[in-house]
Chain A
């Protein structure tokens, strides 16, 4: 079963598609009459059906969180560091559900999908989604899988925001909420970065108002720029310095605009490889969902009141060098939960990378996350 793959990998995995035909009402006032969600699952659902955990992905993630799609696969799923036998989200104990969010570009219904009325691609007409909309669609997924309650809803970054929204919107449907490198809402600076990323895409001449599919083209430069900008915010100043330094590739200035510093080729590589797997309209949607996320808004900005009705226990993890969603943002969440009298734990992992650390097997991170998950597994007799 696991042949050729690392022993702590879930091994070969395959995605499947679930189709939903009950209309999904969206925050923007529109609704989706039918939609598909692509999912992967790892591990086994127990007889009591109480060991299921939901993984929510971040900006550029998808359903492929762990394992390999083929023996030739070079890289495992995006959160393979944390999902697998013996890892924090231990697939010997949990039934792990991971999906591609609505609006995504990895198989779930999104701007790249064909409209049900046969009028071509959704493109820019696809509704702009919110984190709440995603959570609502994930709840439909939960019903389809006949799961009554998640043992935990878990996510990093934008995924953590979905986990938090779950705890507010469906308090009885999850026992634990794990939000890693998340924030109660974006800072103005975060929104500013997103706006520059969007402008990079929107102003690409190949964007064609979002109807590039009809034109048989792709706004590659815009998407590449957006991703390059993103990657600057995923790493700390120090980490960039350590990884790339200021060494000139050819040893001396060449007086050209070709990549001369390593960080330039790194960003270009990240940008160009992103074009192959990601869709510009989806990128726009995802950044918008981030910008809108603000669960305190309905409670006059009082985050403690937003959490007052939650029933889950919370684990928040932040990383010292993360400046995109800094530890202070997780502490805001912690304080609000404490004020609301809700059970919350918080750890700040001393690690060098920055925001990207949530994807990396930092030992202290795995220890904190793993111990918490182990306690959950014990609760459900796993």
Chain B
């Protein structure tokens, strides 16, 4: 299982109500249904992914997240998740706020664009960085709002989103010493649990 999903599963209380934004083929929700007995719904744009969710017994609602989530009512969920989709959104900041309107907690993961290998590519190669996680070219990438851990944490501070938990992991999703001491340089991925101010 994807180590990222394992961490999310550890963070989530059993039996929770979960909304997964950009749920893809439903792998995470299926895992959380089995492991945490969550009652989950996924929002997903691609009809093929919706079909894949249905085949797994995962509830999927075909939705364009970029059109906003205004139709969904407040505080229906314990957790609102978004794994590695923040960077493809038109307005990630607005979506982060919406997530905490719909749910008590939000969990967000995204690729850290401050990772040393990315910095080196730009510094030494002089070209837009590409990685295994982010293989697209600058001109055809869906990832229009990449950020570093620092950027993300600054945004949270600015918008008064409380960071309840953070997990910064290296390439193998291990909690290495480097990841803990210099997260913005050494973490491939940021995982955050957020809440509204108390």
A residues near B (Cβ < 8 Å) are 313, 315, 331, 334-335, 338-339, 341, 343-350, 364, 367-368, 370-372, 374-375
* Contacts across chains A and B counted by CB atoms under 8 Å: 61
Contact partners of A367 in chain B: CB under 8 A: 47-48, 51
Residue B57 lies at the interface, judged by CB distance under 8 Å to chain A = yes
Residue B55 lies at the interface, judged by CB distance under 8 Å to chain A = yes
Residue B52 lies at the interface, judged by CB distance under 8 Å to chain A = yes
Contact partners of B133 in chain A: CB under 8 A: none
Contact partners of A375 in chain B: CB under 8 A: 54-57
Contact partners of A364 in chain B: CB under 8 A: 47-48, 51
B residues near A (Cβ < 8 Å) are 17, 39, 41, 47-48, 50-57, 59-62, 71-73, 76
Contact partners of A349 in chain B: CB under 8 A: 47
Contact partners of B50 in chain A: CB under 8 A: 345, 347, 368
Q: Compute how far the CA of A375 lies from the CA of B60 in the bound complex, rounded to whole angstroms.
A: 14
B17 to A: closest C-beta gap in Å: 7
B69 to A: closest C-beta gap in Å: 11
Q: List 29 A-B contacts (CB under 8 A).
A: A313-B59, A315-B54, A335-B71, A335-B72, A338-B41, A338-B72, A338-B76, A344-B59, A345-B53, A345-B54, A345-B59, A346-B61, A347-B47, A347-B50, A347-B62, A348-B47, A348-B62, A349-B47, A364-B47, A364-B51, A367-B51, A370-B51, A371-B51, A371-B54, A372-B54, A374-B55, A375-B54, A375-B55, A375-B56
Q: Compute how far the CA of A374 lies from the CA of B51 in the bound complex, rounded to whole angstroms.
A: 11
Q: Compute how far the CA of A339 lies from the CA of B47 in the bound complex, rounded to whole angstroms.
A: 23
Q: Compute how far the CA of A371 lies from the CA of B71 in the bound complex, rounded to whole angstroms.
A: 27
Chain A residue with Cβ nearest B71: A335
Chain B residue with Cβ nearest A327: B62
A341 with B39: CB separation less than 8 A:
yes
Chain B residue with Cβ nearest A343: B59
Q: Compute how far the CA of A372 lies from the CA of B53 in the bound complex, rounded to whole angstroms.
A: 9
Chain B residue with Cβ nearest A346: B61
A339 with B76: CB separation less than 8 A:
yes
Contact partners of B39 in chain A: CB under 8 A: 341, 343
B47 with A350: CB separation less than 8 A:
yes
Task: Output the residue of B52, B60, B62 with the most chain A CB within 10 A.
Answer: B62
B62 with A371: CB separation less than 8 A:
no
Q: Compute how far the CA of A336 lies from the CA of B59 in the bound complex, rounded to whole angstroms.
A: 15
Q: Compute how far the CA of A344 lies from the CA of B60 in the bound complex, rounded to whole angstroms.
A: 7
B53 to A: closest C-beta gap in Å: 7
Given contacts A315-B54, A346-B61, A347-B50, are A341 and B17 in contact (CB under 8 A)? yes
B76 with A368: CB separation less than 8 A:
no
A346 with B62: CB separation less than 8 A:
yes
A373 to B: closest C-beta gap in Å: 9
Report which of B17, B51, B59, B73 forms a contact with A368, defined as CB distance below 8 A: B51
Contact partners of A313 in chain B: CB under 8 A: 59
- Top 9 A-B pairs ranked by shortest CB distance? A371-B55, A372-B54, A371-B51, A371-B54, A367-B51, A346-B61, A368-B51, A364-B47, A347-B62
Given known contacts A367-B47, A368-B47, what 10 new A-B pairs fall within 8 Å (CB)?
A313-B59, A334-B61, A335-B73, A338-B41, A338-B76, A344-B61, A347-B51, A349-B47, A368-B51, A371-B54
Chain A residue with Cβ nearest B57: A375
Q: Compute how far the CA of A129 lies from the CA of B73 in the bound complex, rounded to whole angstroms.
A: 35
Task: Output the residue of B51, B60, B71, B76 with the most chain A CB within 10 A.
Answer: B51
Task: Output the residue of A331, A334, A338, A339 with the most chain B CB within 10 A.
Answer: A338
Q: Compute how far the CA of A372 lies from the CA of B48 in the bound complex, rounded to whole angstroms.
A: 12
Contact partners of B56 in chain A: CB under 8 A: 375
B112 to A: closest C-beta gap in Å: 33
Q: Compute how far the CA of A371 lies from the CA of B76 in the bound complex, rounded to whole angstroms.
A: 28
Task: Output the residue of B48, B50, B60 with the most chain A CB within 10 A.
Answer: B50
Chain B residue with Cβ nearest A373: B54
Contact partners of A368 in chain B: CB under 8 A: 47, 50-51, 54
Task: Output the residue of B17, B54, B56, B72 with the most chain A CB within 10 A.
Answer: B54
Contact partners of A345 in chain B: CB under 8 A: 50, 53-54, 59-61
Chain A residue with Cβ nearest B56: A375
B71 with A331: CB separation less than 8 A:
yes
B73 to A: closest C-beta gap in Å: 6
Q: Compute how far the CA of A341 lies from the CA of B60 in the bound complex, rounded to whole angstroms.
A: 14
Contact partners of A343 in chain B: CB under 8 A: 39, 59
Q: Compute how far the CA of A346 lies from the CA of B50 in the bound complex, rounded to whole angstroms.
A: 8
Contact partners of B47 in chain A: CB under 8 A: 347-350, 364, 367-368
Chain B residue with Cβ nearest A317: B62
A293 to B: closest C-beta gap in Å: 23
A304 to B: closest C-beta gap in Å: 9
Chain B residue with Cβ nearest A379: B57
